[in-house]
Amino acid sequence: MKKSIPWLIVPPAATLILFFGVPLALVLAVSFATRGTYGGIEWAFTLGNYTSIADPLYLRIFWRSLWLAVLTTIICLVMGFPLAYVIARAPQRWQGILLFLVIIPFWTNFLVRTYAWMFILRSEGLLSTVLSALGLTHEPLPLLFTDTAVLIGLVYGYLPFMVLPLYAALERLDPSLIEAAWDLYARPLQVFTRVVLPLSKPGVIAGCVLVFIPSLGAYVTPDLLGGARSMMIGNLIQHQYLVVRDWPFGSALSFVLMAGVLAAVLYYLRAGGERGLL
């Protein structure tokens, strides 16, 4: 008996092994190597790259990245839920248009949009000018190159990734369940916590994972909006590879980031009780 091979999966599997698996293995190998005197790689095994991450300087960057990613995820969830709910409950012909509006920013290059935020957040920028014109502030707001600027940029960039899965979950939610809860004496807040939220959990989990992972590894946003003062892991890794030319240390950082993301997401999925995704 010949076991049939699903031939259709061979091209994507080969592509993944060749262009994802092999480079990843290389990075792993390099992370145990030693930096050469002039920036090359010397194949002398060491764990030193991993131990030097424990330096408070780097730990602070890890901590800030984690904190910013968590905050970004929470803000996206709080802002995205009502938005997704309104879209899911809108008349059918409006849903397409509203979803389209959510996706429209993707039509422009992310870099260009981040530059636009620089323009808005500058001390003499749009936001500062408008706020002082309204008399809300009396001196220029130094927003650019702060954690707040990075946070604004991340929320802006990843909000659609939260809205889309939430919309998919809420759109499937039978409106009569909401009416049933309402009819059974639940106040609006109870309808939300007891019926809407539990039934949209898969969307909440998917949205949070989709926002948290890229936020944690963000590079462009903190680079342009955070500058040197608000570095995230992504910038640190780039710095090691291209500026310091310490490839082994950059590789070690990459792997720690990856392991961290994996651990965080696994923990989150477990806590959420969503075994279906694992």
What single-letter DSSP state applies at residue 229? T
How large is the C-alpha radius of gyration of the chain?
23
The correct pick among 185, 228, 275, 276 for binding another protein (CB under 8 A) is 185
Of 199, 186, 179, 175, the C-alpha closest to 81 is 199
Residue 34 has what DSSP assignment? Answer: E
Cβ proximity of 163 and 80 under 8 Å: yes
Residue 258 binds another protein, judged by CB under 8 A? no
CB-count exposure of residue 81 (10 Å: 0-12, 13-18, 19+):
buried
Nearer to another protein, 128 or 200 (CB): 200
Distance CA 261, CA 65 (A): 11
Size of the site for another protein (CB under 8 A): 17
* CB nearer another protein, residue 115 or residue 192: 192
Which CB, 152 or 204, lies closer to another protein? 204
Q: The tokens 């939260």 sit on which residue?
A: 162
| Token pair recorded at residue 130 | 């408008």
Least Å from the CB of residue 203 to another protein: 14
Residue 271 CB, shortest distance to another protein, in Å, is: 17
Nearer to another protein, 4 or 176 (CB): 176
Residues within window 191-250 making contact with another protein, judged by CB under 8 A: 194-195, 198-199
In 3D, which of 245, 187, 275 has the Cα closest to residue 30?
245
Closer of 15 and 190 to another protein (Cβ): 190
> Does residue 181 touch another protein according to CB under 8 A?
yes
Decide: is 179 part of the binding site for another protein (CB under 8 A). Answer: yes
User: Which residues of the shown chain bind another protein in the complex (CB under 8 A)?
Assistant: 174, 176-177, 179-187, 190, 194-195, 198-199
